[in-house]
Amino acid sequence: MVNMTNKIEDVPRLLRLPGAIALRRQMLGEAHIAPLTQYVESLRAKHPTWEFQDFDPMDGGVEADMLFLMEKPGPMTSPTGKKQGSGFISRNNDDPTAEATFNFMVAAGIPRKRVVLWNVIPGWNGTISMTVAECRSGVEELNDLLLLLPKIKTVVLVGGKAGRAQKLLEGMNLRIFTSAHPSPKVRSIKRAMWDLIPRQWEEAYKCCR
């Protein structure tokens, strides 16, 4: 299969366009992303009442050495919502958190192919609320995911709920960093923490080089 990654425009909110979504779906069988595509299919089979969105093939996939672990997929990842989302966990999604993630990655100077994005609660169940049980189950599920990411050296826990994975990760010989979540809510009530995010991500990248 021809790798199309280098031929695609890369700008914030690109996945508002149906054609851009369709093109990414065509890429899901590429070598760097296919094992993660199969992993998502296994999650769908195990938890049929939840939605599990695909990893973005524009990211590094199984070749990535940095995992950015966020909290929970938002409504604009869901292709079945009122405002149809992309079906991907992506910095190119059509929402302000994804846009901030895109811009902060650029500001931090992190090459896209070094990164894979995921969430400690990996599925969407129609609400942004997160229970303790969901967080616990998501942390346990990370064991299976990390088996597919053998090159990961650094994990950035993005947001307080993602921080619940720290204890598990500390026993895996990984560099662990934390930051606030790049959401509009954090920007409005904890602006100083929000402003620190690109610097914190840059520091994580520098330690990974």
Closest of 1, 203, 185, 5 to residue 110, by C-alpha: 203
Specify whether the CB–CB gap between 204 and 177 falls below 8 A.
yes
**Model confidence band, residue 82 (pLDDT cutoffs 50, 70, 90):** confident
Arithmetic mean of pLDDT, 129-143: 95
Q: pLDDT for 41-68, tens place per residue? A: 999 999 999 999 999 999 999 999 999 9
Arithmetic mean of pLDDT, 78-85: 87
Average pLDDT value for the chain: 95
pLDDT of residue 51: 96
pLDDT of residue 3: 46
Closest of 60, 72, 55 to residue 152, by C-alpha: 60
The domain 8-208 belongs to what CATH superfamily?
Uracil-DNA glycosylase-like domain (3.40.470.10)
pLDDT of residue 2: 38
Q: How many CA atoms lie within 13 Å of 13's alpha carbon, on the beta-carbon side?
A: 6
- Residue 19, C-beta contacts closer than 8 angstroms, at least 6 positions apart: none
Is the pLDDT reported for residue 141 higher than 80? yes
**Model confidence band, residue 1 (pLDDT cutoffs 50, 70, 90):** very low
The two beta strands, 66-70 and 115-119, are parallel
**Model confidence band, residue 84 (pLDDT cutoffs 50, 70, 90):** confident
* DSSP state letters, 110-175: --GGGEEEEESS--B-S-S---HHHHHHHHHHHHHHHHT-TT--EEEEESTTGGGGHHHHHTTT-E
Arithmetic mean of pLDDT, 11-17: 97
Please name every residue paired with 51 in a beta bridge, in sequence order, or none if there are none.
124
Q: pLDDT for 87-117, tens place per residue? A: 999 999 999 999 999 999 999 999 999 999 9
pLDDT of residue 4: 53
**pTM score, whole prediction:** 0.95
